[in-house]
Every structure is written in C-alpha cells, then in structure tokens.
C-alpha cells in the first residue's frame, strides 16, 4: 500500500494554517474518485486500492521528510531573488495570475507567509534564442 506520511509531518502549526485557510489549499483531480473506487471493488489487492483512494482524497506525499536534520525553521521566506526589470516584474505578475486562475498557485493573501509556510525563489529567465521569458520556481533553493 501507499504509506501514510510519517507522524512528524503532521505539524500542529501547519495543520492550523491549512484548517484556517482552506481557500489557499484547494486540491483537485480530474479523477472521479468514487467512480474509480466503485470500479475497483473486485480488485484483489484491497489494501493497496484503499491506500490509493485515501491518497486521492486527502493527498499523498509518501516517504516525506521535510525536516531531515531537525533544525529547519517553522516558517521560511526564501524569496530572495530580485526581479531586475519592469519587463520581468510584469511577466512574473502575469504568470502568477495565470497560474492562480488555473488553480496552480494560491491567490495572494498578504505580504507575509502564514505559520508553517515556506516560499521558494521565483525568477524570470530569457528563453533561448528569444526575447520571451520563462518563469522558474527554484524548488532546490534553501
């Protein structure tokens, strides 16, 4: 079966932020979960199917370890990247708005992160052989 996240991943401060701000944490899937569950009622591996259905309903991050050394801060604003031009600033704003319309990004909620949140640097880089820009979220930063 797909594993549950480890108990240490259920941090009270993060859970409270999620509970108090559900509009920021919308999760959707094109899968009709109930129909899938119904179609798989005769599958021989009931434990695995139950874990897949549970994961589709509540989320999935198997083998998560978001604090391997135990010394990560509770909240971290890692948005250190400077937007260096008006063109980049307009591009990033437009891309973030487009991503929010597609439910890929949360809508803006203020200048400060909420408890338990982390941010990553977002930058605009030139596309090769073009004057167009590409949005980069540096997930490796930190």
Q: Do residues 54 and 37 make contact, with C-beta atoms less than 8 angstroms apart? A: no
CA distance 77 to 142: 10
CA distance 138 to 125: 12
Q: Is 45 helix (H, G, I), strand (E, B) or coil?
A: coil
| Residue 99 DSSP SS3 | helix
pLDDT tens digit string along 9-54?
888 898 899 999 988 887 778 899 999 999 999 999 999 999 999 9
Mean pLDDT of 116-130: 90
CA-based end-to-end distance of the chain: 32
Work out the percent of the chain whose per-residue pLDDT is above 70.
99
pLDDT at residue 31 in the model: 94
* pTM of the full structure: 0.70
- Please state, in angstroms and rounded to a whole number, the distance separating the CA atoms of residues 65 and 72: 11
């Amino acid at each position: 079966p797909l594993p549950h996240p480890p108990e240490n991943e259920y941090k009270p401060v993060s859970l409270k932020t999620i509970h108090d701000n559900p509009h920021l944490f919308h999760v959707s899937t094109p899968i009709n979960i109930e129909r899938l569950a119904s179609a798989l009622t005769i599958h021989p591996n009931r434990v695995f199917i139950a874990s897949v259905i549970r994961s589709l309903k509540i989320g999935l991050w198997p083998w998560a370890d978001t604090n391997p050394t135990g010394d990560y801060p509770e909240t971290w604003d890692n948005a250190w990247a400077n937007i260096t031009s008006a063109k980049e600033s307009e591009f990033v704003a437009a891309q973030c708005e487009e991503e929010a319309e597609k439910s890929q990004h949360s809508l803006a909620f203020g200048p400060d992160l909420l408890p338990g949140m982390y941010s990553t640097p977002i930058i605009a880089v030139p596309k090769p052989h073009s004057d167009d820009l590409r949005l980069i979220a540096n997930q490796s930063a930190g």
